[in-house]
Amino acid sequence: MPAARTGIANLPLHYGKAPRWLFERMVKLAREITIVIVEDSGPDEMLRRLSHPYWFQAFGCVLGFDWHSSGVTTTLCGAVKEGVRGIEKDLGLFVAGGKGATSRKTPAEVQKWGELISLDPAPLVYASRMSAKVDSAAVQDGYQLYHHNFFFTARGAWAVVQQGMNEETRYARRYHWLSESVSDFVNEPHSAVLSDAQGQALNLVAAESDPARTTITEIATEEKPEAIMTELNRLKTLSLPAHHYLGTEDLHPDSLKKIILSAYERQPQDFEELLGLPGVGAKTIRALSLIAELVHGVVPSYRDPARYSFAHGGKDGIPYPVDRQTYDQSITLLRRAIGRAKVGMKEKQEAEGRLVRLGRQG
């Protein structure tokens, strides 16, 4: 079940890039901290750390990036990817993906590494694609994904950090995944979702959405495509419930017909297989969810999947952690890693100074 809610996190979208002088230092420090953690505890522990939002946020602060910004996600992930470049095999830790067009290269990057280290890339590519499918189609919360990083080890463990943006509010939302916590890609799969939805969310990976997932799959596989199109056309003329994601104004049955027909012909065995079909995206899932709810009476979950949060001050302030014990543990681990990192005295002093400020505020 989801962890207890503890507050609110808002990550405003900030444009531009981190200054070159700052990013170069972030790469250097990220590299050394990653090396220390992997040497002490193994690459799986690094995945666990990256999948925990408190540690991830603290890591970004220590590297020197403005904590209260969507850019901490993309810049931190970029710094880690650049930092481990050339030493991936030694660490047993690999990073694929990134922001925008780079995110779409993730499968190719994973496949390339799989060939080089004799690791079957298929399960990893599937995990990358399914995590993106879930957070773009099965969870419809007002955020469009634009960043996807896939971290994995030589033994096949993996973590995902991806982020979406809400174009209307100009806020971002971060999604964390960890392979050891995923027993089912479409049933409570997240290790963390950071920040609240901007309005109601359609959450088809909530545990209580299991009946809806079953009904949606049955509609896609058992009802004739023509019957589904008829139902959708009829629903567009009705006065629907006031769930903003259930709006039909952008659903066009004629444009969905090809996808619905393809799903019917392929006969997916369950919701996960349906979600993974090529072409099945947010509009297809929303259309089938509409039919499940309004025609068959099976209501999906409206619960926001957000699980972690921060209480905070101003834009350039330091995050005030609600869970002080967990955040203090993150600070302690980072302080130890910085102490052992082979970086210049100036970088160490600056990073330790940021940790001191984090500790005082926490």
Residue 299 included in any domain? no
Q: Are 170 and 224 part of one and the same domain?
A: no
Residue 293 reports pLDDT greater than 70: yes
Q: Are 192 and 212 part of one and the same domain?
A: no
Query: What pLDDT, in 10s, does the model give residues 177-217?
Result: 999 999 999 999 999 998 777 778 899 999 999 999 999 99
The rounded percent of the chain whose pLDDT value lies above 70 is 78
In this prediction the pTM is 0.84
Of the residues 243, 259, 294, the one at which a domain ends: 294
Q: Are 77 and 169 part of one and the same domain?
A: yes
Residue 80 reports pLDDT greater than 90: yes
Q: What is the largest CA-CA distance in the chain?
A: 70
**Residue 42 contacts residue 289 (beta carbons within 8 Å):** no
Residue 23 included in any domain? yes
Q: Are 159 and 190 part of one and the same domain?
A: yes
Q: Are 37 and 72 part of one and the same domain?
A: yes
Which among 314, 316, 315, 311 has a CA at the least distance from the CA of 362? Answer: 311
Supply angle C-alpha 260, 265, 270, rounded to 5: 80
Give the model's confidence band at 54: pLDDT under 50 very low, under 70 low, under 90 confident, else very high.
confident
Q: Are 108 and 174 part of one and the same domain?
A: yes
**Mean pLDDT score of the chain, rounded to an integer?**
83
Query: Tokens standing for 231?
Result: 């139902």
Task: Kindly report the length of the chain.
Answer: 362
Of the residues 294, 327, 346, the one at which a domain ends: 294
Give the pLDDT score at 158: 98
Cα Rg, the chain, nearest whole Å: 21
The rounded percent of the chain whose pLDDT value lies above 90 is 54
Give the pLDDT score at 322: 44
Of the residues 241, 260, 294, the one at which a domain ends: 294
Q: Are 114 and 59 part of one and the same domain?
A: yes
Give the model's confidence band at 125: pLDDT under 50 very low, under 70 low, under 90 confident, else very high.
very high
Give the pLDDT score at 202: 93
Residue 4 reports pLDDT greater than 50: no
Helix axes 20-41, 53-63, angle to 10 degrees: 130
Give the model's confidence band at 313: pLDDT under 50 very low, under 70 low, under 90 confident, else very high.
very low
For β-strands 144-153 and 202-203, DSSP reports them as: unpaired
* DSSP E strands, 154-199: 158-166, 171-178, 192-194
Q: Are 42 and 144 part of one and the same domain?
A: yes
Q: Are 193 and 246 part of one and the same domain?
A: no
Give the pLDDT score at 197: 75
Which among 277, 276, 234, 233 has a CA at the least distance from the CA of 257? Answer: 233
Query: Tokens standing for 146?
Result: 């634009």
Distance, in Å, from the CA atom of 66 to the CA atom of 14, rounded to the nearest integer, reads 10
Total domains present in the chain: 2
Give the model's confidence band at 238: pLDDT under 50 very low, under 70 low, under 90 confident, else very high.
low
Q: Are 33 and 156 part of one and the same domain?
A: yes
**What average pLDDT does the segment 80-102 reach?**
97
Residue 244 included in any domain? yes
Residue 247 included in any domain? yes
Give the model's confidence band at 328: pLDDT under 50 very low, under 70 low, under 90 confident, else very high.
low
Q: Are 315 and 193 part of one and the same domain?
A: yes
Give the pLDDT score at 319: 40
Residue 4 included in any domain? no
Distance, in Å, from the CA atom of 57 to the CA atom of 93, rounded to the nearest integer, reads 20
Query: Tokens standing for 107?
Result: 């499968």
Q: Distance of CA 174 to CAs 53, 171, 192, 227, 303, Å?
A: 9, 10, 8, 38, 17
Residue 9 reports pLDDT greater than 50: no
Give the pLDDT score at 12: 53
Distance, in Å, from the CA atom of 212 to the CA atom of 32, rounded to the nearest integer, reads 47
- HEC sequence for 293-322: HHCCCCCCECCCCCCECCECCCCCCCCECC
CA atoms within 13 A of residue 294's CA, in its CB half-sphere: 23
Q: Are 39 and 137 part of one and the same domain?
A: yes
Domain that residue 168 falls in: 11-201+306-361
Distance, in Å, from the CA atom of 207 to the CA atom of 188, rounded to the nearest integer, reads 6
Residue 3 included in any domain? no
